[in-house]
């Protein structure tokens, strides 16, 4: 499996989402941050908008739910066409059932952990998951500084997946840019979310290409 570049539309122009989605069509996945103003101190978009994004996006939709009660809402995002649905472990009442529901609907089941959540908390769930998202900033906002001290979590997860013979996707989200992407890939990350790095670039396609080349140069799986 090669690395996947996933532009985060949190850094796009929300008045021109279709235009800004088409501007990153050289990427692999489209990362959509759903925030509810409760689980995180920011509010973005919800089901009706994501449903339309799924219809206009040429890329598979990678939905990151930063919301309370993912047990109720996560399957709804699979229903409207998300390819991956990530829920936060800290918000989930029954993560195994959420993951099973997502898989039964044909979506990739993914669980995220915030910087303060120990990686050990997600390890018992790996058999139910297709991806784990390691937050490399506090969730809520784009443009924050990358937390290199999250890399041991990626290493632990990659080692656990390999020991179990699993092709687990490992996503890193927050502060991923040209100067940090190789650190993430070396630690075992293979799905790289980048918001400000891509949307802040004058040529978004070129930035995606540059990030991919840097990541591929150190990717050994």
Ligand X SMILES: O=C(CO)[C@@H](O)[C@H](O)COP(=O)(O)O
Feature table: binding site = 8, 31, 33, 64, 140-143, 173-175, 195-196
Residue partners of 196: CB distance under 8 A and separation at least 6 = 11, 142, 143, 177
Gap between the Cα atoms of 33 and 61, Å rounded: 10
- Among the options 20, 33, 62, 130, which is catalytic? 33
Q: What are the tokens at 46?
A: 């919800």
- Given the complex with ligand X, which of 188 and 195 has the nearer CB atom? 195
Minimum Å gap between C-beta 144 and ligand X is 6
Kindly state the number of chain residues that form the binding site for ligand X, as judged by CB under 6 A.
Answer: 22
User: Which residues have a Cβ under 8 Å from the Cβ of 25 and sit 6 or more positions away?
Assistant: 58, 59
Using CA atoms, how far residue 53 sits from 49, 71, 81, in Å, is 6, 22, 9
**Residue with structure tokens 């769930």?**
125
State which residue, 164 or 206, has the beta carbon closest to ligand X: 206
Among 33, 62, 130, 190, binds ligand X (CB under 6 A): 33
Q: Helix, strand, or coil here: 58?
A: coil
Told to check if 153 binds ligand X by CB under 6 A, we report no
Q: Which residues are annotated as a binding site for a divalent metal cation?
A: 31, 33, 64, 173
Distance CA 187, CA 189 (A): 6
- Please give the radius of gyration of the chain, using alpha carbons only, rounded to the nearest integer: 16
Q: Is residue 53 a contact residue for ligand X (CB under 6 A)?
A: no
Binding flag, residue 171, ligand X (CB under 6 A): no
**Element spanning 84, H or E:** strand 84-88
| By CB under 6 A, residue 8 contacts ligand X | yes
By the rule CB under 6 A, 189 interacts with ligand X: no
Interface residue with ligand X among 144, 178, 201, 219 (CB under 6 A) is 144
Does residue 196 interact with ligand X by CB under 6 A?
yes
173 binds ligand X (CB under 6 A): yes
DSSP 92: -
Distance CA 59, CA 18 (A): 12
137 contacts ligand X (rule: CB under 6 A): yes
Active-site residue flag, 33: yes
Q: Indicate if 173 belongs to the active site.
A: yes
Contact residues: ligand X, CB under 6 A: 8, 10-11, 31, 33, 64, 137, 139-144, 173-176, 193-197
């Amino acid at each position: 499996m090669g690395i996947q570049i996933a532009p985060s539309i949190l850094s796009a122009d929300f008045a021109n989402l279709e235009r800004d989605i088409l501007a990153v069509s050289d990427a692999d996945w489209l990362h959509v941050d759903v925030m509810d103003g409760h689980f995180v101190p920011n509010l973005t978009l919800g089901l009706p908008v994501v449903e339309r994004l799924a219809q206009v996006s040429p890329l598979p939709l990678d939905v990151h739910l930063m919301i309370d009660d993912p047990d109720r809402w996560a399957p709804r995002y699979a229903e409207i066409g998300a390819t991956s649905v990530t829920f936060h472990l800290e918000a989930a009442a029954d993560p195994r059932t959420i993951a099973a529901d997502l898989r039964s609907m044909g979506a990739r089941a993914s669980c995220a952990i915030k910087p303060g959540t120990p990686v050990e908390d997600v390890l018992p769930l790996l058999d139910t998951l297709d991806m784990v998202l390691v937050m490399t900033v506090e969730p809520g906002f784009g443009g924050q500084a990358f937390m290199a001290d999250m890399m041991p979590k990626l290493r632990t997860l990659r080692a656990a997946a390999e020991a179990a013979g699993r092709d687990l996707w490992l996503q890193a989200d927050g502060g991923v840019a040209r100067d940090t992407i190789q650190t993430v890939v070396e630690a075992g990350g293979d799905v790289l979310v980048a918001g400000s790095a891509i949307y802040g670039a004058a040529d978004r396609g070129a930035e995606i290409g540059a990030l991919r080349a840097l990541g591929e140069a150190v990717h050994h799986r």
